[in-house]
Structure 1
Amino acid sequence: MDWIKRIDWKAWIGTIALIIIFREGAVWVMKQFGHPELGNLAGLISLLSVLALWRKFKKIPASLVDTNNKIMKESAFAFLPISAGSLLMMMHLGDETPMFLIVLFVSTLIPLWVYAKMSKKWL
C-alpha cells in the first residue's frame, strides 16, 4: 500500500477534472449548434488551444504533464476492443476494404503523427 502514498492525488484529480470539464462543456456547446457528435473533437481542440496559450505565458506544471503521460500510456488498452471490432467489420466489407483502410489511415495515423510532432516540439 506504499504506492498509494506516492500518488499525487491532487494532480490526478485535477487532470481528470480538466479533461471532463472541457469534454462536457464542448459537448454542451456543440449540442446547442445541433451537432453533439462533434463535442469530443471540439473539446480536444479547445483543451489543446488553452494549454498551448498557457504554455506561451507560463510553464505547464510538471505534475500535469506526468499525470497526462500516465493516462495516455494506460488508456492505450482501451482501444483494443475498438481494434477488434474494426477487424471484424473489415471481414464483412468485401470490395470496400481498400477505401476503409484509406479512411482509417487518414483519420488515425496522420493525426497521431501530427500530435507526436507537436508534443515533441512544445513539451
Structure 2
Amino acid sequence: MDLFKNIDWLAWICTIALIIFFREASVWIMGLFHHPELGNLTGLLSLLIVLVIWRRFKKIPPRLVDTNNKLMKESGFAFLPICAGSLLMLVSMGKEIPLFLVVMFVSTLIPLWVYAKMAKKWL
C-alpha cells in the first residue's frame, strides 16, 4: 500500500480532468459543425495553445508537468489493443495495404512528431 501514498492524487485528478474537459468540449464544438471526429485533434491543439499562452505569462506548475510525463510514459500500453486490431485488419486488406499504411503514417506519425516538436520547443 506504500505505492499509493507517494502518488499526488490532486495533480492526477486535475490533469486527467483538464484533458477530458478539452477533449469533450472540442468534440461538442466540432459536433456543432457536423464534424465530431475532429474533436480529438482540436482538443489537443486547443490544450496546447492554452498551455503555450499560460506559459507565456506564468510557469506551468511542476506537479502538472510531472503527472503529464508519467501519464504519457505509462499510456503506451493503451495502444496495444489498437495495434492488434490493426494487424487483423491488415491481413484482410490484401492489395490495399500500401495505401492503408501511407494513410496511417500521414495521419498519425507526422502529426505526433510535429506536436512533440512544438511541445518540446514551447512548453
Question: How high is the TM-score relative to the length of structure 2?
Answer: 0.92
- CA shift, 1:121, in A, is 2.0
In the alignment, the residues of structure 1 paired with residue 122 and residue 45 of structure 2 have an alpha-carbon distance, to the nearest angstrom, of 15
Cα 1:42–1:119 shift into 2, 3 Å = closer
Match of 1:71 in 2: 71
What is the aligned-residue RMSD (CA, Å)? Answer: 1.3
AA partner of residue 112 (structure 2):
L
Residues 77-116 of structure 1 aligned to structure 2 (within 5 Å): 77-116=77-116
Aligned to 1:23: 23
Q: Work out the CA distance in 2 between the residues paired with 1:110 and 1:24.
A: 24
For structure 2, the 5+ residue unaligned runs are none
Alignment-derived partner of residue 4 in structure 2: 4
| Helix, strand or coil at the partner of 1:97 | helix
Q: CA deviation at 1:105?
A: 1.2
What is the DSSP-based 3-state SS (H/G/I as helix, E as strand, rest coil) of the residue aligned with 1:7?
A: coil
SS at 2:67's partner residue? helix
- Give 1:115 shift: 2.3
Bigger shift: residues 108-117 or 42-51: 108-117
How far apart, CA to CA, are the structure 2 residues paired with 1:27 and 1:68? 22
- Larger relative contact order (Cα-Cα within 8 Å, sequence gap ≥ 6): 2
Please tell me whether residue 119 in structure 1 is matched to residue 119 in structure 2: yes
